[in-house]
Structure formats: structure tokens, C-alpha cells
Structure 1
Amino acid sequence: MGAPVVHFEIGAANGDRSRRFYADLFGWTVTPFPGGEDYGVVDTGSGTGIGGGIMQAPEGMQPWVTVYVGVDDLEKSLSRAEELGARRVMGPAPVGDMGEIAMFADPDGNILGLFAATREATPAEQ
């Protein structure tokens, strides 16, 4: 079975501005993530594709856009990525009770995320 892209994320220089921009541009609904005021969960309203999030980039970090790939085992996937020339960037780290995330930089420096679910996300969380 393949590893699907399950989530996108936009790390913005100005989180509030970017949440308004994408909501206005595409008609997305962006709601605060419970307990994470700086993270807005995106519902595209399309019924297809994936949901995502728009967040304030931490101070000192450049803005980014990344995708998260669903995997069964974060450590196994991170180790394999490293064997293939990637560099671990963060994680694994918990995401509430939904699962864990990790990130790596591919050999060209592109940042990709990994997500291992411990439960099915509700539509508002996707």
C-alpha cells in the first residue's frame, strides 16, 4: 500500500494575514486548532483533496509550505529517509491524541513531514 499525502501546512511570516488571505482567495474555512491559537485548521469545503493548516512561523524561521505523508512507523520512515541521504529536522512529536509528526529535509533541502495516526481525525481537525 502506498503512503498518501494526508495534510498540508503553510508556515507564514504573519499567520493572521495568511489565514485571511487563503480564506478570502479560495473560500476556505480556517478555524483555530484547540489549544493552539497560532494554528488555523483549513477545511477547503471541496469534499475532495486534503485539509491542512496555516500557522505563524516561529521567530527566526523562514516561511514554508510542506506536505505530510501518512506512514505507519515514524522511526522506520525517518531512518530510511536518512539512509537515502535525508536529514532529520524534528520529531517524532505528539499531535494531541491524533498521532505523531516528524519532519526531514530531503537531499535537496526540501522539508517534508510524516504523520502516524493513533486515531482517525475528525473533519474539523483535517
Structure 2
Amino acid sequence: MGQPVVHWELWSQNPAAVAKFYQEIFAWKIEDYPLMNYRIVHTEGGGMGIDGGIMQAPHDGSPSINLTCYIAVDDLAPYRDKIVAAGGKICVEEKPVPGMGTLALFTDPDGRMMGLWKPEKQK
């Protein structure tokens, strides 16, 4: 069985306006985390759907990114190696998200940004 997509992110030049737009249209519950300049989006649709986030797009000359999907894995290192071997590029090495898990970002051969996600072990 393949690895599931477990999270998505919209990268925006105006995250507050984008969050308001989706909240008004789809009635998504959106939690604002000002210290991280991040919004957690709960899509809750009768047990269907994938939750996500809305964040500030980078201003450092990074490629234009509209949507990033995160794929759940049990260990980031072997997938990092597979990505590089298959022609992808690691853009962000393992980065902890306190209390949640660890992520890494990569681009595929077309330059599309995607993420790996290793959830923190539940106690």
C-alpha cells in the first residue's frame, strides 16, 4: 500500500485574506497561530477530507509555490535518499515541528514542492 497524503498547505502573499476567503466559502474552521504566521485549517466533512494550513509565501526568490502536499512516512531518511536517487532535490532538511512531528521539503523533477511528514509518536 502507498504512503498517504496527510496535510496540505496554501502558500500566500496575503494569508489572512486567503484564510477568510476559504472560511467564508466552505465554512472551514481556521485557527490562527500568529507567532508562526500560520493558520491550521480544519476541513471536517463527515469524516472525509484532509486538514491543512495557510502560510506566508517566501519572499527570498523561491519558486512560485501555490500548494504543497505532505506525505506521511515512518522515517524521513530512506525517503530522502529515494527522492535524490530518483532525480528530486531536498530543499529543507529534517525540521522538527514541536509537539507534532518532523518535516522535510523536496522538489520533484518538474520543480514541484512537496513535503515528507513523520508524525510524533503518540504517548
TM (normalized to structure 1)?
0.86
Which residue does 2:55 correspond to in 1?
Answer: 55
Aligned to 2:40: 41
Asked if 2 retains the 8 angstrom alpha-carbon contact of 1:13 and 1:63, the reply is: no
1:35, CA displacement in angstroms? 4.3
Shift of 1:118: 1.5
**Stretches of structure 1 lacking an aligned partner (at least 5 in a row):** 121-126
Range with bigger deviation, 19-28 or 65-74:
19-28
**Equivalent position of 2:107 in the other structure:** 105
Report % sequence identity: 38
Measured in 2, the distance between the counterparts of 1:99 and 1:45 equals 21
Q: Is the 8 A contact 1:74 1:116 kept in 2?
A: yes
| 8 Å contact kept, 1:69–1:115 | yes
Q: Please give the root-mean-square deviation of Cα atoms over the aligned residues, in Å.
A: 1.6
Q: Partners of 1:63 and 1:81 in 2: how far apart?
A: 19
Describe the SS at the equivalent of 2:109. coil
Q: TM-score, normalised by structure 2?
A: 0.88
Residue 12 of structure 1 aligns with an amino acid whose one-letter code is S
Structure 2, unaligned runs of 5 or more: none
Instruction: Give the Å deviation of 1:51.
Output: 0.4
Q: Deviations over 1:22-81 (max 9, x none)?
A: 111211111023842x10100112131210000111323434211000001111101111
Residue equivalent to 1:26: 26
Contact 2:44 2:51 in 1 (8 A): no
Task: Report how many residues are paired.
Answer: 119
Contact 2:38/2:53 (8 A) holds in 1: yes
Provide closer, same or farther for how the CA distance between residues 111 and 63 of structure 1 changes in structure 2, counting only shifts above 3 A: closer
